[in-house]
Amino acid sequence: MHPAPPLSVQIAPRGPLTGDVTLPGDKSISHRALMFASLAVGRSTITGLLEGEDVLATAAAMRAMGATIERGDDGTWRVDGVGVGGLLQPAGALDMGNSGTSTRLLMGLVASHAIHATFAGDASLSGRPMGRVIEPLAAMGADITASPGGRLPLMVRGLVPAVPIEYTLPVASAQVKSAVLLAGLNTPGITRVIEPVPTRDHSERMLAGFGARIEVEETAAGRVIAVHGEAELQPQTIAVPGDPSSAAFWLVAASIVPGSHVTIRNACMNPTRTGLIAALRLMDADIAETNARSVGGEPVADLVVRHAPLTAIEVPPDLAPSMIDEYPALFVAAAMAEGVTVARGAHELRVKESDRIATMAAALSAAGVTLTEHYDGLSITGSGGAPMTGGVQIASKLDHRIAMAMAVAGLVATDAIGIDDARPVATSYPAFFTTLDALAPPRD
């Protein structure tokens, strides 16, 4: 098949954003719900699943390894699992598309099963290094053959029984942590991951909900997460909350477009995911939480955000792990604040779908923003609310979050900002542009 042609879009100011937003399901939780349900014995049901391309790649991979996964007409997904240790040999390569989460977590699953799997992906994913996952999984006994630079395509040959390890994360990465924990599910003994800096804890929360024996301890060395192997997972009914990474674009857009007043429904408020809200509040954003509740073990709330003049800050580096995917949106907010915002401590942005530091620096600079690029972030001189110049076409580098962040920037530019290819938005937020049109219809 030939790839679809690029989808170029032009975003110009439209006036205030007003109304309610129904968020797509959280991407991180959606991936894990499908994987863990596929490892349970019996039928699980999932509502609110994100039906973006990345999550669908996970569903296809789990089907290829034996799980029965079906979507009902009512949008409910039903998963009949094969049990821990029951994954079947896939008939062909697993196509991960653009999904780094699918790739890294599924590598962990395969590593402790008596199967082998080849992982392939699109051009963007194939450029992302997998060495940080290969190292611990190889220590557990998996035989991994990768392309030069530890990249895709690569093959994982699992080992049964695998070897339990105690592994300290060299960088803050929920994906690496989760890959090791998932390998530990089918490994005799106890597998431990030590994270000096806390990362997203969806895997620990959900595995415990499925019946795995998970222990979390705070120590001087950091948070220690232990999983007891040869686990037996029980089927569950899962309601996926709204994705805070998708909420980020509306939080920023409503904050910077005068007259805006937006209510964001059902946002996941897991404390490992709310760094952007904390940063925006430090910048004097007007964000209120209402209807706080718990859904499937995750804290959830509705967010009400109104336009407010933003003030530049030095972003606390310890917020980075809890907002790593939201930095592109934060950079746009910084461009409209009063003063110089310094956002550093985000080295991980260099190895996302694109080099998000360099890509956002180039895009914002082209749109008229004054900034300085650092190895671990940006310093951005804000306009104090004055429109950025715009009138340019920027390169998304096949990165969904770059495309959406610069679409938000187009709402506060003198002239329209063009995005060379918005197709990748479908990987995480297929309804993004439809939602934008509903909140702020385009002007004639």
Residue 357 contacts residue 235 (beta carbons within 8 Å): no
Domain boundaries, the chain: 9-25+241-439, 27-239
- Residues counted in the chain: 444
Same-fold call for 9-25+241-439 versus 27-239: yes
Architecture of domain 9-25+241-439: Alpha-beta prism (3.65)
Task: Return d(Cα 348, Cα 128) in angstroms, integer.
Answer: 12
From 122, 302, 325, 399, the catalytic residue: 325
Q: Please tell me whether 175 is known to bind a ligand.
A: yes
Where does residue 178 fall: left (phi above 0), alpha (psi -120 to 50 degrees), or beta otherwise? Answer: alpha
pLDDT means per 10 residues in the chain (444 residues)?
A: 72 97 95 98 97 96 98 97 98 95 97 98 91 97 97 98 97 94 98 94 95 97 97 96 97 98 97 96 98 89 98 95 94 98 92 91 98 97 98 95 98 97 93 97 86
Residue 263 in contact with residue 308, Cβ under 8 Å?
no
Is 325 labelled a binding residue?
yes
397 is in an annotated binding site: no
Phi then psi for residue 173, to 5 deg, are -150, 110
Q: Is 243 labeled as catalytic in the residue annotation?
A: no
pLDDT of residue 93: 97
**Can you tell me the distance from the alpha carbon of 227 to that of 263, in angstroms, rounded to the nearest whole number?**
39
Alpha-carbon dihedral 181, 186, 188, 189, rounded to 10 degrees? 20
Buried b / exposed e over 213-235, threshold 16 CB at 10 Å, is ebeeeeeeebbbbbbbbebebeb
Q: The CATH number of 27-239 is which of 3.40.50.150, 3.30.70.20, 3.40.50.300, 3.65.10.10? A: 3.65.10.10
417, amino acid identity: I
Q: Is 14 annotated as a binding residue?
A: no
- Which pTM value belongs to this model? 0.89
> Would you state the pLDDT for residue 2?
43
Is residue 27 part of an annotated ligand binding site? yes
Distance of CA 41 to the CA centre of its chain: 28
Output the pLDDT for position 295.
83
